[in-house]
Amino acid sequence: MHDPTTLCSPGPNEKFSINIINVVVASLSLIGSILTIISYSIKKYRKYREIKAQQQQNQSTYNHFQNNLLQTPNGNSSFSSYSTNSGGSPSKSNSPSSKLPDLIFFLAISDFFTALCIIISQAYLIGNIKSYSAQTLLSNYLLFSPCILFRGIIQFFFLSTFFWTTCIAYYLYHQLSSPDKEKHLLYIFHLVSYGIPLIIVMGLGLSNSFIEDPSTGWCESGKEFEFIFWFLPLFLCVALCAFYYIRLKRLFRLKFEYRLQVNERLKQLDNTISRRLTLYIVVFIVCWTPDIIQHFISFFSTCNFYPLMLVQNVLSPAQGIFNFFVFSITNKVVTINAPNIAKESKRLLSSI
């Protein structure tokens, strides 16, 4: 039986075990993020090679028709026919490509730096807590320590993963509801996913709002700042992701309602695509719900429930490895004969 006091006030051994769990899980996320980045880069390079090969083939065909034009008395009609049917010159496809892989790539970048900083921070804390917490005064008012530095960097990239995941959820819904209107969307996503975290972290750092918790050695922001600049963004992002998750599933069924009613195969396809579209959202909600619960409890009680802290410290840093598994699954694009559903699946799920 666990001592009730230990359950609400974990001792040094329990806190040390949490640090070790953080390092182990963050290491798995680091590996998962690297694999996602490598997989994305390889597929991007292959796609680039395919486009270049297609352009060279088009150029060769174009040159062939130009030579025929010079040699054939009635070459104008031949050239005109080629221009009409083949475009007349090498060109890229006008069909819009999905931005989803790019969003996943940027999410993986944030996952990577989050996991890397957690590993370095926790290893530093475990190895030399005195040096980790040692503070110096910069510019006569600004406090600095490795603890504060790592806290700021980790909070920045964690917040970035919140916003990137929310952007992915919005993008999937946007693509299904109005796919032709996405101009400047990627720039807006960058501004939101990097700009807001940067403003929050810079504000907390410059106001000396990161303070050390003597019981753990970690640096945290004050309770009111933590509510506004951590709990609130996290809660809003989880709520938005849950909203888009529900809307996506409903919208997909409404869009292809008739086909799904008359074709059993398309019903199975609907379930497959719906699951793959929303897995990133599900992973985010699962990983961060324990953190929301833990913070909600802490606002009304001094109890730090140890079992919940364990679950929180297993799931929160694990988003990178879970996202890699999702990335692997969603790259298995479904191939079918129904034109409209096939178009949606390729546009929304295609890797590049």
- Model confidence pLDDT, tens digit, residues 181-206: 667 889 999 999 999 999 999 999 99
Q: What is the DSSP letter of 88?
A: S
Task: Decide which of 293 and 269 is more confident.
Answer: 293
Report the range of poorest mean pLDDT among 33-42, 91-100, 229-238, 333-342. 333-342
Q: Give the per-residue pLDDT at 283.
A: 93
Task: Give the C-alpha separation, 304 to 83, whole Å.
Answer: 72
Assign domain 14-60+96-349 to its CATH architecture: Up-down Bundle (1.20)
Task: Decide which of 325 and 16 is more confident.
Answer: 325
Q: Is the pLDDT of residue 337 over 50?
A: no
Task: Quote the mean pLDDT of the chain.
Answer: 81
Task: Give the C-alpha separation, 297 to 303, whole Å.
Answer: 8
Residue 255, classified by CB atoms within 10 Å of its CB into exposed (0-12), middle (13-18) or buried (19+), is: middle
Contacts of 2 (CB under 8 A, 6+ apart): 306
What token pair was written down for 220? 């945290």
Q: Give the per-residue pLDDT at 60.
A: 81
Task: Give the C-alpha separation, 40 to 107, whole Å.
Answer: 12
Q: Using alpha carbons only, what angle is made at residue 85 by residues 80 and 89, rounded to the nearest 5 degrees?
A: 75
Q: Give the per-residue pLDDT at 3.
A: 56
| 134 touches 177 (CB < 8 A) | no
Q: Is the pLDDT of residue 299 over 90?
A: no
What token pair was written down for 67? 């030579």
- Model confidence pLDDT, tens digit, residues 117-161: 999 999 998 888 888 988 888 878 888 999 999 999 999 999 999
Task: Give the C-alpha separation, 142 to 43, whole Å.
Answer: 45
Task: Give the C-alpha separation, 227 to 232, whole Å.
Answer: 6
3-state secondary structure of 11: coil
Task: Give the C-alpha separation, 174 to 166, whole Å.
Answer: 12
Contacts of 30 (CB under 8 A, 6+ apart): 112, 115, 116, 119, 320
Question: Hey, CA dihedral for 249, 250, 251, 254, is it positive or negative?
Answer: positive
Q: Is the pLDDT of residue 107 over 90?
A: yes
Spatial CA neighbour of 176 closest among 352, 1, 349, 3: 349
Q: For residue 142, what are the β-bridge partners?
A: 138
Instruction: Report in angstroms the alpha-carbon separations of 144 from 71, 147, 198, 239.
Output: 78, 8, 18, 35
Q: Is the pLDDT of residue 11 over 60?
A: yes
Report the range of poorest mean pLDDT among 54-68, 225-239, 263-277, 333-347. 333-347
Q: Report the percentage of the chain scoring pLDDT > 90.
A: 40
Largest CA distance in the chain: 98
Task: Decide which of 314 and 70 is more confident.
Answer: 314
Instruction: Report in angstroms the alpha-carbon separations of 196 from 40, 155, 159, 193, 324.
Output: 26, 12, 8, 6, 25
Task: Give the C-alpha separation, 16 to 88, whole Å.
Answer: 68
Helices (H) and strands (E) in the chain, counts: 15, 4
| 205 touches 277 (CB < 8 A) | no
Q: Give the per-residue pLDDT at 79.
A: 44
Q: What is the DSSP letter of 96?
A: P
